[in-house]
Structure 1
Amino acid sequence: MAGHITPCFWFASEAEAAARHYVGIFDDAALGHVSRYGADMPVAEGTVLFAQFTLRGQPYMALNTGRPIAFNEGISLSVDCATQAEIDHHWDALLADGGAPVQCGWLTDRFGVSWQIVPRMMDEWMRTGTAGQVARLMAAMMDMVKLDIAALQRAFEGE
């Protein structure tokens, strides 16, 4: 029987704060088990070792190692959003307290994790659109930072 594939985020000391932050953003999210370092371990006793959490049913783990390892945009978490209000909510919450917008719906949160906040219909547009529709869609997206569903729809439709 196959098990889960669980992404693990490696932090110096922010594992629990990150897990709690992410769980607070998403509706279908929960903080799971939080484990702590014990005596005679490489990080101070009582410090969070790992925090398990789920976002939209996907399990994750956040691990404190005691030494900083930088995240980069080579991997990101993509959040599909049904409405502009959902895009706005996730965008603002993930940028809170030190995140940075990038381009084309991408941002980096305050912990350095890269996210893509995209309209749910983007996949359908990309799969079903003509070459011209997809080209207009991509051109519009390249000019945006936070994605605007209505503007993307107009570009796709050639308006």
Structure 2
Amino acid sequence: MPKIISNLWFAKDAREAVEFYVSVIPNSTAGASTTVPADTPSGPPGSVQVIAFKLGDQNFIALEAGPFDPFNHAFSILVECDSQAEIDRIWDAFIANGGEPEQCGWLKDRWGLSWQIVPRALGEMIAGTDREAAKRATEAMLGMVKLAIAALERAYRGEP
């Protein structure tokens, strides 16, 4: 069975990004690191660095190979959290490290990578059989920057 690994191309500072990510996301580790020993379109031997890492149970490769295409919203990393304290801790760590908040629980880290920091319960609310409650929760989420579980739950229940 093939192994699926998401590859993230960094213009620079890939090691710093990986170290930050694994320090903030629970159950994460940095793995093997190597430099490409041949000339590449990005530069001479040794100019390209490859770092394996794992965030939770998801495998990634950070490739530092100079500027190419910048990160954009077409790819994001979604982090499902079980508590408001976990959302706050992760969100605040990214913002304190140069991240920029965006609507609906999204933020962009200082390297330009998009993240969604969301409560696990939100997916359950939106997928629930009560479509009016799902709509209320969705509308509440659309009005937030950092997501607040209590406010989403109140909206889902139809409470002010």
Task: Quote the residue 1:156 is aligned against.
Answer: 156
The reply on whether 1:96 has 2:96 as its aligned counterpart is yes
Corresponding residue of 1:31: 30
Deviations 1:50-89 (A, max 9, x none): 1100011211000011224310011111110000000001
Whichever residue aligns with residue 28 of structure 2, its letter is A
* Distance across 2 between alignment mates of 1:136 and 1:93: 29
* Structure 1, unaligned runs of 5 or more: none
1:52/1:151 CA distance change after superposition, 3 Å: same
2: distance between equivalents of 1:40 and 1:141? 48
TM-score (norm 2): 0.91
Corresponding position of 1:143? 143
Structure 2 residue 123 is the aligned partner of structure 1 residue 123 = yes
Say yes or no: does 1:18 pair with 2:13: no
Query: Structure 1 residue 44: deviation in Å?
Result: 5.6
Q: Are the counterparts in 2 of residues 37 and 43 from structure 1 also a CA contact under 8 Å?
A: no
Deviates more, 1:64-73 or 1:146-155: 64-73
Q: CA deviation at 1:47?
A: 4.8
Structure 2 distance, partners of 1:129, 1:87, is 26
Q: Which runs of 5+ in 2 are unaligned?
A: none
Which residue of 2 is the match for residue 67 of structure 1?
Answer: 67
State the partner residue of 1:77.
Answer: 77
Structure 1 residues 48 and 22: alpha-carbon distance in aligned structure 2, compared to 1, 3 A threshold:
farther
Q: CA deviation at 1:38?
A: 3.5
Q: Secondary structure at the match of 2:52?
A: strand
Q: Distance in 2 between matches of 1:149 and 1:129?
A: 19
Percent identity reads 42
Q: Are 2:126 and 2:135, in contact at CA under 8 Å, matched by a contact in 1? A: no
Q: Distance in 2 between matches of 1:47 and 1:27?
A: 31
